[in-house]
Amino acid sequence: TKSEGRNSYQFYSIEMHARAVYGQMLESHLLQALERGELDLHYQPQVSLSGQEVVGVEALMRWTSPALGKVPPDKFIPLAEESELILRLGEWALRTACRQAKAWQEAGLEGLRMAVNVSGRQFRQPGFAELVSGILAETGLAPRCLEIELTESCLVDNPREVQTILHRLRYLGIQVAVDDFGTGYSSLSYLKLFPLDRIKIDRSFVRDIDNDPDDAAIASAIIAMAHSLGMQVIAEGVETQSQLDFLGGRGCEEVQGFLYSRPLPAAELTGFLHDRRPQ
């Protein structure tokens, strides 16, 4: 009826309003989060299937706001990406992660790779390669130990421009991984255009890999394609031994997921890293 229609419209608009207010509140707090030291990085191990050793870690941002509590990155990263704020958050994450990687190496974890998420806007900012090389020089981290993770959608936007930036990064000696691979519904032709080191199979294909023949087929195809193009493969979101066995059986080189460890603060991960390193 008419009145129900009006009610649901009203409900909808109140909800929309609440969401907008929450968004503005997040934004104003996020602006200060960096200066007030409310941001932190957690690290999740990346394990090689051949040796069951930790070969790298992925840095994941965490925000604990005194007013809003723990805000998940899925909420605040997209918000930061709407403005230049992501450039500052991203630079902070790169610098903090490189510093931590250097500290771990000095503590005997040589060759450990540090993977850092980089958003499209950050990647395309003028002088991104120079920023990265400055941070490497400042922290003393060897370039081959830094990997940046770029999403598929960030790569396909403007292939020419992307190609130029990727070649600059390759020249510096850092590694590049394609994150969330398979979720972008994009053409695959860009893969041969770009110098890429690694593909990350998205968690959504790994989750039901044991039961869903389609997901199993997609994961197998991604691995085969990556290998034939000279890239390595890492699977994210691995939670069970049978997922691990499937991926290992298909030649996937590395995995990351709760099966080994959740993302943890640096201090908590240090012991785990020392126990699981090549001798």
What residue type is 127 in one-letter code?
Answer: G
Q: Is 72 in the site for ligand C2E (CB under 6 A)?
A: yes
CA distance to 40, 73, 91, per residue, from 36 (Å): 11, 18, 16
Q: Segment contacting ligand C2E (CB under 6 A): 11-19, 113-121, 209-217, 240-248?
A: 113-121
Collapsed DSSP state (helix, strand, coil) of residue 194 = coil
Query: Which residue in the set 61, 129, 247, 269 belongs to the binding site for ligand C2E (CB under 6 A)?
Result: 61
Q: Segment contacting ligand C2E (CB under 6 A): 25-33, 71-79, 104-112, 168-176?
A: 71-79
Q: Is 73 in the site for ligand C2E (CB under 6 A)?
A: yes
Query: Which residue in the set 38, 147, 152, 180 belongs to the binding site for Ca ion (CB under 5 A)?
Result: 180
Query: Which residue in the set 35, 74, 214, 275 belongs to the binding site for ligand C2E (CB under 6 A)?
Result: 74
Residues 129 to 168 in contact with Ca ion, rule: CB under 5 A: 149
Q: Which does 239 bind (CB under 5 to 8 A by kind): ligand C2E, Ca ion, none?
A: ligand C2E
Q: Is 253 in the site for ligand C2E (CB under 6 A)?
A: no
Task: Give the β-pairing of 39-48 and 264-265.
Answer: antiparallel
Over the window 187 to 226, marking each residue x when it contacts Ca ion by CB under 5 A and - when it does not, the resulting string is: ----------------------------------------
Q: Which does 49 bind (CB under 5 to 8 A by kind): Ca ion, ligand C2E, none?
A: none
Query: Which residue in the set 236, 243, 247, 269 belongs to the binding site for ligand C2E (CB under 6 A)?
Result: 236
3-state SS, 74-142, equals HHHHHHHHCCCHHHHHHHHHHHHHHHHHHHHHHCCCCCCEEEEECCHHHHCCCCHHHHHHHHHHHHCCC
Distance CA 157, CA 84 (A): 19
Over the window 30 to 59, marking each residue x when it contacts ligand C2E by CB under 6 A and - when it does not, the resulting string is: --------------x---------------
Distance CA 160, CA 67 (A): 43
- Smallest distance, Å, CB 257 to ligand C2E? 3
**Please, what's the b/e burial string for 233-268 (b: 16 or more CB within 10 A of its CB; e: otherwise)?**
bbbbbbeeeebbebbeebebbbbbbeebbebbebee
DSSP 19-75: HHHHHHHHHHHHHHHTTTT-EEEEEEEEEETTTTEEEEEEEEEEEEETTTEEE-HHH
The CA angle 92-112-172, to the nearest 5 degrees, is 65
Query: Which residue in the set 91, 152, 180, 215 belongs to the binding site for ligand C2E (CB under 6 A)?
Result: 180
Q: Which does 255 bind (CB under 5 to 8 A by kind): ligand C2E, Ca ion, none?
A: none
Sites of contact with ligand C2E (CB under 6 A) = 44, 60-61, 72-74, 77, 90, 93, 117-119, 179-180, 203, 236-239, 257-258, 263
